[in-house]
A = this chain, B = another copy of it.
Amino acid sequence: MPRTVYLDNATTTALDPEVLESMKPYFLEWYGSPTHEYGHTFGLKAREALEESREAVARNIGANPEEVIFTSGGTESNNLAIKGSVLANKDKQHLVTSRIEHTSVLNVAKSLERTGHLRVSYLNVDGEGFIDLEQLKNETSQETVLVSVQHANQEIGTIQDIEEIGKICHEKKVPFHVDAVQSFTKVPINVKEMNIDLLSISAHKFHGPKGIGALYVKEGLKLKPLIEGEYHEFGYRSGTENIPGAVGFAKAVKVVDDSQLEHMRRLRDYLMKRLLEVPDARLNGPRGDLRLCNNVNITFRFVEGESVLLHLDMRGIIVTTGSACFSRTLEPSHVILALGLKHEDAHGSARFSLSKYNTLEEMNYTVENVRDVVEQLRVISPVGR
């Protein structure tokens, strides 16, 4: 039996020891802050590390290095993309987004809506979580400051047709923001080919450090900073540069390879197939290539997600649920509800999110225990069959 089976990688991942090694010299030896080209040795060394890291991240998404700015993470990137666009374009007061975005997009939209700054169109999704492209076309206009749609969903792994959405935004001449926090390094991204103007990414979702993310900002795009001070990050984001963070971020990008993605995909398909053999289990989100390679989300009817979570936890298996009581807001998952499922279905949903470190043995152990836990819970279930 494995000691711990960590299946909450969509929330956050273990730091890769190789990534930690890459950060060490910048923690202990070259700990200076970047200076301009006539600065001191420590400043130049820091500057070099920062710019090399920026280049590595930019290369991965087909951007120029000077279009990538480091932030403290995906949430800050999303806030900067949306609020920065709204602040820079005060004549436009309409935002288009979807019902299944991450809270760092949805709650920013709601906050701007509440204060009267913005009118927001929330795009509907179908039963698998794909947004309504016709609605996107109809609702996007010259009044629209930004279209903000995620690349892959955080709960059910649905991968949107970003290229098609980019085309529509391009035709409508409306800037396009993509929250790619879940998909980055898992699904290929080319910001130029996909007509993306702003793209949010975060390091800790793929074994990089916490506390560092980035925002791609297309050259020439109008955007105001949220955090001001010195002229850091091309004027878009001030604060002493987190050099170890940036170096770790870049290293985490570099160590990703296709075999890891293929490994996760294989485990995902196996786990999905085996878990769906549990009676009254249904898959949330799509199958195949349009699903994130590391996401499995299943509703086990007639049980509570948090009971599944806690019982699996006692057996060393770490998962999450879209159930009401588990979330900080005490509301069931807005994603599951947007699919058209009932509250009960959200209650019994469990997410198993994989990483390169998971093994087939762990999948078997998980399947065995999920079957057992669900069966036991159903015997004592207050939710009648």
Q: Which residue numbers of A lie inside 8 Å of B, CB to CB?
A: 4, 6, 8, 11-15, 17, 20, 24, 27-28, 31-33, 35-36, 38-42, 72-76, 78-79, 102-104, 107-108, 111, 202, 204, 209-212, 226-231, 238-245, 306, 309-310, 312-313, 318-320, 325-326, 328-329
Which of these, B12, B231, B319, contacts A33 with CB under 8 Å?
B12
**Complexed CA–CA distance, A313 and B41 (Å):** 7
**Complexed CA–CA distance, A329 and B27 (Å):** 27
Query: What are the residues of chain B within 8 A of A320 when measuring CB–CB?
Result: 40
Query: What are the residues of chain B within 8 A of A231 when measuring CB–CB?
Result: 328-329
B104–A211 CB distance below 8 A: no
Residue of B nearest to A225 (CB): B111
10 smallest beta-carbon distances between A and B, as pairs: A104-B229, A72-B72, A211-B242, A75-B239, A15-B27, A40-B313, A211-B211, A75-B229, A210-B242, A14-B31
Q: Could you tell me the distance in whole angstroms from the C-beta of A285 to the nearest C-beta in chain B?
A: 21
A227–B226 CB distance below 8 A: yes
B40–A12 CB distance below 8 A: no
Q: Could you tell me the distance in whole angstroms from the C-beta of A47 to the nearest C-beta in chain B?
A: 11
Identical chains bound together, number: 2
Contact A28:B20 (CB < 8 A) given known A227-B79, A231-B328: yes
**Complexed CA–CA distance, A384 and B74 (Å):** 54
Query: What are the residues of chain B within 8 A of A211 when measuring CB–CB?
Result: 72, 211-212, 242, 244-245
B226–A79 CB distance below 8 A: yes
B328–A230 CB distance below 8 A: yes
Q: Could you tell me the distance in whole angstroms from the C-beta of A112 to the nearest C-beta in chain B?
A: 9
Residue of B nearest to A20 (CB): B27
B12–A32 CB distance below 8 A: yes
Contact A326:B39 (CB < 8 A) given known A240-B204, A318-B32: yes
Query: What are the residues of chain B within 8 A of A243 when measuring CB–CB?
Result: 210
Residue of B nearest to A13 (CB): B31
Contact A228:B79 (CB < 8 A) given known A14-B28, A104-B239: yes
**Complexed CA–CA distance, A186 and B170 (Å):** 54
Query: What are the residues of chain B within 8 A of A108 when measuring CB–CB?
Result: 228-229
B228–A111 CB distance below 8 A: yes
Contact A244:B103 (CB < 8 A) given known A13-B31, A229-B108: no
Query: What are the residues of chain B within 8 A of A39 when measuring CB–CB?
Result: 309, 326
Show 27 A/B contacts (Cβ-Cβ < 8 Å), sorted by A: A6-B32, A6-B42, A8-B32, A8-B40, A12-B32, A13-B31, A14-B28, A15-B244, A20-B27, A38-B306, A39-B309, A40-B309, A40-B320, A72-B242, A74-B239, A75-B227, A75-B229, A75-B238, A79-B228, A79-B238, A104-B229, A104-B238, A104-B239, A107-B228, A204-B240, A211-B211, A211-B242
Q: Could you tell me the distance in whole angstroms from the C-beta of A104 to the nearest C-beta in chain B?
A: 3
Residue of B nearest to A17 (CB): B28
B228–A104 CB distance below 8 A: yes
B241–A210 CB distance below 8 A: yes
